[in-house]
C-alpha cells in the first residue's frame, strides 16, 4: 500500500468509528463531532472508558494495536452497562461491530463511576494475561528478542540450540511492516505449522534511530534478503515473504561500507 492508500484506509476507519459511536459520545456527555476527529476521538474515548490517555499511543503501534482494539471494544460497551459474557464475546467476534447494535438499537446509559476492577477471579486472570501479552509484545518487537541458533555456521562461537537475547534498540528497531500477525512469533505459528501473518496490508519500511553503528566483529541478527524458506531443513516449494517475516540469520560482521574483502585459502583479508 502506498501513502495515498494508507490515508484512504485511515479515513475509512475514522468513518466506521464515527458511525458506530457518535450516539455513545453524546450519552457520555460529549459532542458528536468529537467522534470524527482522528486521534482526538481516541483521546476522548479514553476519557469515556476511564482509561489512561497513553493507551492512544498503543493503538498506533503495529501488532500492539491488534491486541488493544478488542480491549477498547470491550471497555466501550462496559462503560454503557453491557457487561455480560455473551456481549463480551459478541463485540470481539464481530470485530467491534456489535457496538453499532449498542449505539443504534439499545437504550443504554453511560456509567460514569464504573468500577475498573474485574468482578471475578477469571476476569482478573484475563486482564493480567492481556496486559502481560501487550507488554511482552512491545519488548519483543522494539527492545529485546530471543532467538535460537538453527545452524552451525558460527560454531566455535555459537552452537546449534544456543539461546540468544538480541538487542534491537542498539542499531535501531525496525518497525513491523506486516500489520496483521500473531504476536511474539515469526513467520509460523508453533504447533500448527501455518503462516502467522497476512501479507497485506503492508506498512513502508521504517527503522527507529539507533545508538550505535554496526562495527567489525559484531555478531548481528538480520533478515535473509533472498529468503524463500518457510521452515528450515524442510524441502518444499519456495515462498514469498514480507521483509520483516524473512528468516532470521545470525552472522559475524566482517566488513563495513567502503571495505574491500578477499578470501584467500579460507582466510578473509580486509
Helices (H), the chain: 3-27, 40-48, 55-58, 64-78, 85-93, 98-104, 121-142
pTM: 0.75
Average pLDDT, the chain: 86
User: What integer pLDDT is reported at residue 242 of this predicted model?
Assistant: 84
Q: Are 30 and 40 in contact (CB under 8 A)?
A: no
Cα–Cα distance, 143 to 165 (Å, whole number) = 10
Q: Are 60 and 10 in contact (CB under 8 A)?
A: no
What digits encode the pLDDT tens for the residues 112-127? Answer: 888 777 666 666 777 7
Cα–Cα distance, 118 to 129 (Å, whole number) = 13
User: What integer pLDDT is reported at residue 94 of this predicted model?
Assistant: 93
User: What integer pLDDT is reported at residue 184 of this predicted model?
Assistant: 83
* Domain ranges within the chain, ordered by starting residue: 3-137, 144-270
User: What integer pLDDT is reported at residue 238 of this predicted model?
Assistant: 65
User: What integer pLDDT is reported at residue 49 of this predicted model?
Assistant: 92
Cα–Cα distance, 232 to 149 (Å, whole number) = 11
* CB neighbour burial string for 40-53, b if at least 16 within 10 angstroms, e if fewer: ebbebbbebbebee
User: What integer pLDDT is reported at residue 133 of this predicted model?
Assistant: 85
Question: Could you say which DSSP state residue 61 is in?
Answer: S
Mean pLDDT of each 10-residue bin along the chain, 270 residues long: 72 90 92 92 93 90 87 92 88 92 92 76 74 87 87 84 90 88 83 82 86 90 76 64 85 90 91
User: CB under 8 Å to 10, separation ≥6 — which residues?
Assistant: 38
What is the sign of the dihedral through the CA atoms of 236, 238, 241 and 246?
Answer: positive
Amino acid at each position: 500500500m502506498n501513502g495515498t492508500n494508507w490515508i484512504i484506509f485511515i479515513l475509512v476507519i475514522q468513518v466506521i468509528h464515527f458511525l458506530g459511536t457518535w450516539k455513545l459520545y453524546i450519552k457520555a456527555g460529549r459532542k458528536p463531532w468529537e467522534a470524527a476527529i482522528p486521534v482526538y476521538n481516541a483521546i476522548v474515548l479514553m476519557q469515556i472508558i476511564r482509561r489512561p490517555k497513553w493507551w492512544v499511543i498503543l493503538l498506533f503501534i503495529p501488532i500492539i494495536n491488534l491486541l488493544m482494539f478488542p480491549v477498547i471494544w470491550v471497555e466501550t460497551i462496559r462503560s454503557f452497562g453491557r457487561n455480560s459474557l455473551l456481549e463480551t464475546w459478541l463485540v470481539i467476534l464481530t470485530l467491534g461491530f456489535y457496538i453499532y447494535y449498542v449505539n443504534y438499537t439499545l437504550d443504554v446509559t453511560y456509567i460514569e463511576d464504573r468500577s475498573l476492577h474485574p468482578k471475578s477471579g477469571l476476569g482478573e486472570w484475563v486482564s493480567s494475561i492481556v496486559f502481560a501479552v501487550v507488554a511482552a509484545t512491545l519488548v519483543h518487537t522494539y527492545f529485546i528478542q530471543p532467538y535460537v541458533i538453527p545452524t552451525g555456521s558460527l560454531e566455535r562461537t555459537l552452537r546449534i540450540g544456543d539461546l540468544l537475547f538480541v538487542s534491537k534498540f542498539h542499531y535501531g528497531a525496525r518497525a513491523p511492516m506486516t500489520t496483521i500477525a500473531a504476536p511474539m512469533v515469526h513467520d509460523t505459528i508453533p504447533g500448527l505449522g501455518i503462516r502467522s501473518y497476512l501479507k497485506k496490508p503492508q506498512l513502508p519500511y521504517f527503522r527507529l534511530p539507533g545508538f550505535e553503528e554496526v562495527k567489525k566483529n559484531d555478531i548481528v541478527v538480520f533478515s535473509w534478503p533472498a529468503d524463500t524458506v518457510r521452515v528450515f531443513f524442510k524441502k518444499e516449494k519456495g515462498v514469498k515473504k514480507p521483509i520483516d517475516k524473512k528468516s532470521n540469520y545470525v552472522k559475524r560482521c566482517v566488513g563495513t561500507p567502503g571495505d574491500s574483502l578477499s578470501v584467500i585459502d579460507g582466510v578473509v583479508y580486509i
